Chain A
Amino acid sequence: MTLVLVFSGLLFAIGTYGVLTRRNAITLLISVEILMNAANLNFVAFSRLWEPELMTGQVFALVGISIAACEAAVGLALILAVFRRFGTTDVGRIDFLRG
């Protein structure tokens, strides 16, 4: 169990670093997906600890995967719209609201 938690903690840290340091919108999205996968790993692991026959953790992991797919679809649609408007996917260069 500890092994699973260690791995998901490491993956979460990697995802955090990606979210904080990347400036391309698509790599930001990939970093967020890494974070969600680390969370799903924990859900599946904890599913075995408490009432495994109810599968609550696995149900949550499936819900998480669905949410991630929705998020990717909407996020990529936004990225395409922004690219058509600004000609870049670099989130640091989209400064439309700067006074």
Chain B
Amino acid sequence: MLDSDVQIALFAAFGGVAVLAALAAVLTRFLLRSIVAFGAFLTAIAGQFYLLAADFVALIQIFVYVGGVVVLILFALMLSAVGEKHPLAVSEHRGLGAVVAYAVGGWLVWAAFGEDLPEAGEVPGETVAFLGRAFLDQQLVAFEVIGIILLAAVVTALVIVRGERL
């Protein structure tokens, strides 16, 4: 999978950053801090993608998520949280949520150790050509469906935001 010790150490470092940033994004009571931590989380995940020999996916992660989604969320914050200076309210069922999350995480980590997985195969050095071929050959349906979903999402977002009265 990860070939050398350096790669494993780098992967663990990115993973540590991702886990800490995700925790900060989920636990902080200030919205702006949550968004900034989310940006750091996405960048760390992009680094993990790169180490897993998915350079194009890492690039798209940076472009679409860090460049697009985070900016979109910041815009929503600017338009909606006017005057909200006090910390955000959190649910009163935090204990229950923690128990469920602990169970889910424990089960997933346990399952990660349980299976005998095959050896990792050799990945081509440049993934872009292979991805392009996959998208226009075997995964053509997925490619077309993404196009339709993107169109539908854009139209829906415009209609929802434009509507005079909800």
Contact = CB atoms under 8 A, between A and B. Distances in A.
Tell me the dominant secondary structure on chain B's binding face: helix
Contacts of B45: 37, 40-41
A7 B38 CA distance: 16
Interface of B: 1-2, 8, 11-12, 15, 18-19, 22-23, 25-26, 31, 34-35, 38, 41-42, 45, 48-49, 52-54, 56-57, 60-61, 64-65, 68-69, 72-73, 75-77, 79-81, 88-91, 93-94, 96-98, 100-102, 104-106, 108-109, 111-113, 117-124, 127, 130-131, 134-135, 138-139, 142, 145-146, 149-150, 152-154, 156-158, 160-161, 163, 166
Nearest to B102: A13
Contacts of A61: 49, 54, 57
Nearest to B153: A70
Contacts of B124: 52-53
Contact of A9 (B1, B12, B109, B122): B109
B104 A12 contact: yes
Contacts of A37: 41-42, 45
Given A47-B54, A55-B130, A18 B120 contact: no
Contacts of A44: 49, 52, 54, 57
A27 B124 CA distance: 38
Q: Contact size class for A?
A: 35 or more
A24 B89 contact: yes
A78 B163 CA distance: 11
A67 to B, nearest CB: 7
Tell me the dominant secondary structure on chain A's binding face: helix
Contacts of A53: 121, 123-124, 130
Given A48-B123, A58-B131, A4 B160 contact: no
Given A62-B60, A76-B73, A23 B25 contact: no
Contacts of B135: 59
